[in-house]
Amino acid sequence: MIDLRSDTLTQPTQRMREAIYEATVGDDVYGEDPTINRLEELAADMLGKENALFVTSGTQGNQLAVLSYCSPGDEIIVESESHIFFYEGAAISALAGVQPRTINGIKGEMNPSDVRNAIRSQDIHFPDTSLICIENTHNRSGGSIVSSDNMRAIYKIAQQASIPVHIDGARLFNAAVASDKQVQEYTQYCDSVQVCLSKGLGSPVGSLIAGNKEFIKRARKWRKRLGGGMRQAGFLAASGIISLTEMVERLSEDHEKASRLADAIEDIGGLSLLNRPDTNIVIVNIEETKKSNEEFLNDLKKEGVLAVSFGEGLIRLTTHYDVSSQDIDQAITALKRII
């Protein structure tokens, strides 16, 4: 099977398995796991923040940011198709007790003046706006890159209003590599950031959040409250170190594969692209084929290719390092055959 459902499906590399086997570990709740400490220092350094924290998942990282910055009854500004709003089971409301104010973006980019207008003024009727979230790359727009110009403009507005900005950067390294920029080009325009180790970077488990000392201190406490205080988790961190030091630059290979897949799809009658992919996600509009998503995905599966439904008439194909160049050729053949 050629599995294009998600870049979370990657298996740990040989180097990761070796690093996990050899890791020196301790009790991280006591702050005594040297491998966790090394990963957190490395991440803070790469992301240009004072401190970092290893967390169980991207969702937990995002939620820790909301919990650390907000109080129940607050409002947070999010893009209307963002992961935090769309895919986290309303955790912002269930856990932090905040309500979302959604803004429709274009390929994930919110118009800065829409953000400015959404910030609440002081009024007894209103909730307080306590956080602005930006997702980069933007998953539901097909891994599109939110430009550093857009981020700078939003960050400036946020600073004027004394509201923190959090980046859901599950795939921020994809944005940096695809735009040939340092990741700090993006993280300079936020107060906190979450990056996933278990997507294109290939680790089996984990994400990191980074921000200033005070933020990480609060987030660490929230992580403990949520049951995310792990003990000899250095085994996971050992893999995370490989992700950050050896798996970032190679993301360009995934982008190249997605681009080649997209080129071919544009030439197949009946299929069209939601957007040209900026990174490793290809969203295909299948409406003209008159097949339901389920039928289309089943037909594709019979040809040995797995993809996922991404809303009415849309399917998502994601490239990652366990998909070879030959696999892409085969996936293209499969798509042609089922049309």
Q: Which residues bind to ligand PLP, rule: CB under 6 A? A: 57-59, 62, 83, 135, 139, 168, 170, 196, 198, 207
Which one-letter DSSP state was computed for residue 320? -
Measured at the CA of 48, the angle between CA 119 and CA 11, to 5 degrees, comes to 100
Identity of the amino acid at 18: E
Q: Which of 158, 157, 153, 151 is nearest to 131 (CA)?
A: 158
- Whole-angstrom distance, CA of residue 133 vs CA of residue 136: 10
Q: Which is nearer to ligand PLP, 46 or 175 (CB)?
A: 175
Q: How far is the CB of 300 from ligand PLP (least distance, A)?
A: 22
The radius of gyration of the chain from alpha carbons, rounded to an integer in Å, stands at: 20
Q: Which is nearer to ligand PLP, 157 or 197 (CB)?
A: 197
Q: Which is nearer to ligand PLP, 142 or 234 (CB)?
A: 142
Q: How far is the CB of 198 from ligand PLP (least distance, A)?
A: 6
Q: Which of 76, 115, 119 is nearest to 98 (CA)?
A: 76
**Which residue's CB comes closest to ligand PLP?**
58
- Whole-angstrom distance, CA of residue 252 vs CA of residue 339: 29
Q: Which is nearer to ligand PLP, 28 or 88 (CB)?
A: 88
Q: How far is the CB of 59 from ligand PLP (least distance, A)?
A: 3
Going through 191-295 in order, the beta strands assigned E by DSSP cover: 192-196, 207-211, 272-273, 281-285
Q: How far is the CB of 154 from ligand PLP (least distance, A)?
A: 17
List the structure tokens of 102.
């959604």
Q: Which is nearer to ligand PLP, 144 or 289 (CB)?
A: 144
Going through the chain in order, the beta strands assigned E by DSSP cover: 2-3, 51-55, 75-79, 99-103, 129-135, 165-168, 192-196, 207-211, 272-273, 281-285, 305-306, 308-309, 314-318
Q: How far is the CB of 126 from ligand PLP (least distance, A)?
A: 28
Q: Which is nearer to ligand PLP, 144 or 259 (CB)?
A: 144
- Whole-angstrom distance, CA of residue 191 vs CA of residue 114: 20
Scan for tokens 């290979």, then name that residue: 253
- Whole-angstrom distance, CA of residue 177 vs CA of residue 183: 8
Q: Which is nearer to ligand PLP, 36 or 134 (CB)?
A: 134
Q: How far is the CB of 84 from ligand PLP (least distance, A)?
A: 7
Q: How far is the CB of 220 from ligand PLP (least distance, A)?
A: 18
